Amino acid sequence: MRLSSVLFFASLALGTALNQDSADLSAREASPELVPRACSANGCKCVKGLAQGVYCGNCVVGAGTYAISAKRVANHAYECNSSGGCCDYGKASDCGTKNARCKNGSPV
């Protein structure tokens, strides 16, 4: 009885800690800054008018148009902003696959 309530509260505390971690992560992901973590403005360009966010090199936004319009590498992740600003995060394991992150549009 005593042991099971200890375990109960321990798992409760663990669950709370895990929830806090994911809340912190999503707060960082939702940051409006173009440079929330190291990325390089290497001359890449994004299609104008996209929602700001992360787009993999293989993301297509309508009518077969890639989100990245210059210096596109299929397995790199990019941060795009609404005015076509682009920043290259480099290789990301999901990019170039059908599970690639695309803030808008979809991977090809």
State the Cα–Cα distance between residues 46 and 66, nearest whole angstrom.
8
| Position closest to ligand NAG via CB | 85
Closest approach of ligand NAG to the CB of residue 36, in Å: 13
Query: 3-state class of 97 per DSSP?
Result: coil
Contact set for ligand NAG, span 22-51 (CB under 6 A): 34, 41
- Start-end of H helices in the chain: 2-29
Q: Is 85 in the site for ligand NAG (CB under 6 A)?
A: yes
Looking at beta carbons only, is 42 or 83 nearer to ligand NAG? 83
Q: Is 70 in the site for ligand NAG (CB under 6 A)?
A: no
- Per-residue burial over 47-76, b = 16 or more CB atoms within 10 Å of its CB, e = otherwise: beebebbbbbbbbbbeeeebbbeeebbbbb
Closest approach of ligand NAG to the CB of residue 47, in Å: 13
| Residue at 40: amino acid letter | S
Looking at beta carbons only, is 94 or 103 nearer to ligand NAG? 103
Residues within the interface to ligand NAG (CB under 6 A): 34, 41, 81-83, 85
